[in-house]
Chains A and B, each alone.
Chain A
Amino acid sequence: GAVVSQHPSRVICKSGTSVKIECRSLDFQATTMFWYRQFPKQSLMLMATSNEGSKATYEQGVEKDKFLINHASLTLSTLTVTSAHPEDSSFYICSAGWTGDSNQPQHFGDGTRLSIL
């Protein structure tokens, strides 16, 4: 089955640091990838839709200058949390799927746990 790889799995860093998270589709081309944030014991909150070769579409309330998304190729999207602060600590998950096949499941990365000290 399709595999989505997300790295790193865990990051611990000081306040003010910028952190980059990578999401790769390993055996298929993903023109669209999604970035989610998950708080403890809560559901996934969609942050943005990452489109290959164009600007990401951000959900209401998500700061695009804070969460930079780049989708430069059909297999890689990156999320950069700029100047991270403790309130940015969370579990971040990416997903990807075949565009045009809305009856197909999305495939998720294993998530990145970000802890800002």
Chain B
Amino acid sequence: AQSVAQPEDQVNVAEGNPLTVKCTYSVSGNPYLFWYVQYPNRGLQFLLKYITGDNLVKGSYGFEAEFNKSQTSFHLKKPSALVSDSALYFCAVRFPDNYGQNFVFGPGTRLSVLP
């Protein structure tokens, strides 16, 4: 079965330190990979995606993610965390032949950046 795992429910990091939010996936084929962020009582906001090409993709708000095919991972990173980055982060996959079809979301990781 297709699945997306985010092994950490919670990640705490001090402001100014680098952060990593982990994502691994178990799917067949070559999915498209996405990261979304959710602030309290809000919908999801798109951060970045990997479709093809360079394994390191850059997105909004200084975030980046590295695709690793051999490890089937797509970890989200930021060199220097801000308190305002505190939110819920979701990794998601989608399949090239699923036109109009939904995403498969990971369970989410709550990021807390401490001042």
Which of A's residues lie within 8 Å of B, judged by CB? 4, 6, 9, 31-32, 34, 41-44, 46, 49, 91, 93, 95, 97, 99-103, 105-111, 113
Inter-chain contact B46/A42, CB cutoff 8 Å: no
Pick the residue among B32, B41, B107 that contacts A113 (CB under 8 A). B41
- B-side interface mostly: loop
Instruction: Provide 12 A-B residue pairs closer than 8 Å at the C-beta atoms, listed in order of the A residue.
Output: A32-B100, A43-B106, A43-B108, A95-B43, A95-B44, A99-B99, A100-B100, A102-B94, A103-B49, A105-B36, A109-B43, A111-B41
- Least distance between B43 CB and chain A CB atoms (Å): 4
Inter-chain contact B41/A105, CB cutoff 8 Å: no
Q: A43-B106, A103-B51 are in contact. Are A111 and B46 (CB under 8 A)?
A: no
Pick the residue among B34, B96, B101 that contacts A105 (CB under 8 A). B34
Chain A CB within 8 A of B74 CB: no
Give the residue name and chain of the A residue nearest to B98 (CB): A102
- When A and B form their complex, which 5 residue pairs have the shortest distance between CB atoms, in order from nearest? A108-B43, A99-B100, A105-B46, A32-B100, A108-B44
CA distance A55 to B22 in the complex (A): 37
CA distance A99 to B102 in the complex (A): 11
CA distance A49 to B102 in the complex (A): 8
Give the residue name and chain of the B residue nearest to A99 (CB): B100
Q: A99-B100, A102-B101, A106-B103 are in contact. Are A42 and B44 (CB under 8 A)?
A: no
Pick the residue among B45, B90, B99, B110 that contacts A100 (CB under 8 A). B99
Inter-chain contact A110/B51, CB cutoff 8 Å: no
In the assembled complex, which residues on chain A have CB atoms less than 8 Å from the CB atom of B42? 110-111
Inter-chain contact A44/B90, CB cutoff 8 Å: yes
In the assembled complex, which residues on chain A have CB atoms less than 8 Å from the CB atom of B102? 34, 46, 49, 106
6 additional contacts, CB 8 Å, given A32-B100, A42-B108, A106-B102? A31-B100, A95-B44, A97-B100, A100-B100, A102-B96, A102-B98
